Chains A and B, each alone.
Chain A
Amino acid sequence: MTTHQTDMTDIASAKVTGYGISYAITSILSALLVILKEGNESVFQLMVSLTGHHWITHGVLDVLLFVVLGAVLSSRNITVSGNTLIASVVGSTIVSGLIIAGFFVI
């Protein structure tokens, strides 16, 4: 006999949902930023000028976006089904990977 019962409600907590969606959005935007900065010299130079290296700026922007978006979305109590949330996290990981690798292959 188990000491707990599994809650079959297909919804994660507001914090987990908020940061999960934030991760999905940030990872896709991060991949798109790769294309933008590598294809546009002025964007690349702007990112260099902000921190001294485009990669450092990219990382700072990613972390800031993830944290801020996660905090905002968590506070809004967004309701997303569990399967949709998992698909968003897994799907955005695969898509962002394909965008980045595909860009440098081509």
Chain B
Amino acid sequence: MSKEMILMLHPTFGVLAMIAAVWVFVEALNASDGNIARLRRVSVLATVLLWCAYIVGGYWYVIYYGGDKAIIKAGPWPFAHSLAMETKEHLFFTLLLLGTFLPIAAYGDVVKKKVTRNLVLWTSALVVLMGLAMEGAGALIGMGVKVALLAKLI
């Protein structure tokens, strides 16, 4: 598999994880005996997808990012590395842990305990918001490479 394909898998898994987290949020809004099993299955799916995004993205970051980093730092948008990438690579741990906590909360008594249901709502919402931030940061990093390469051509 080419390194570009590996890179594309990272945001793909991320978007799918966000969709799953939105699904969990909606199921939690209407939590009942009828949908609790589905809510829990989807919460596990969201976690698995987040871990896939982490492993694939982490592999690409450790093995291939050095080249892009050098290009970005020499270009007109060095903050795409010094701010966007540095923040993204470290904040991802928080998102990963939050995503791992989601099914733990979902396997609590979501139907009968309001506090557990609210916790699932907050956790899934935060996973979505942080996921969007990660996608935005990823776009900035990609643009950082692009403007640096374009600057070389001019």
Contact = CB atoms under 8 A, between A and B. Distances in A.
Interface of A: 2-13, 15-16, 19-20, 23, 26-27, 30-31, 34, 53, 55-56, 58-59, 62-63, 66, 70, 82-83, 85-86, 89-90, 93, 96-97, 100-101, 104-105
A20 B105 CA distance: 8
A20 B58 contact: no
Given A3-B32, A16-B116, A26 B97 contact: yes
Interface of A is mostly: helix
A75 B96 CA distance: 23
Given A30-B94, A66-B97, A104-B82, A4 B112 contact: yes
A62 B87 CA distance: 16
B119 interface: yes
Contact of B113 (A2, A12, A31, A66): A12
Contacts of B82: 104
A31 B115 CA distance: 27
6 contacts: A7-B112, A12-B113, A19-B101, A63-B97, A97-B94, A101-B87
Interface of B is mostly: helix
Interface of B: 32-33, 54, 58, 61-62, 82-83, 86-87, 89-91, 93-94, 96-98, 100-101, 104-105, 107-109, 111-116, 118-119, 122-123, 126, 130
B114 A7 contact: yes
A106 to B, nearest CB: 10
A27 B108 contact: no
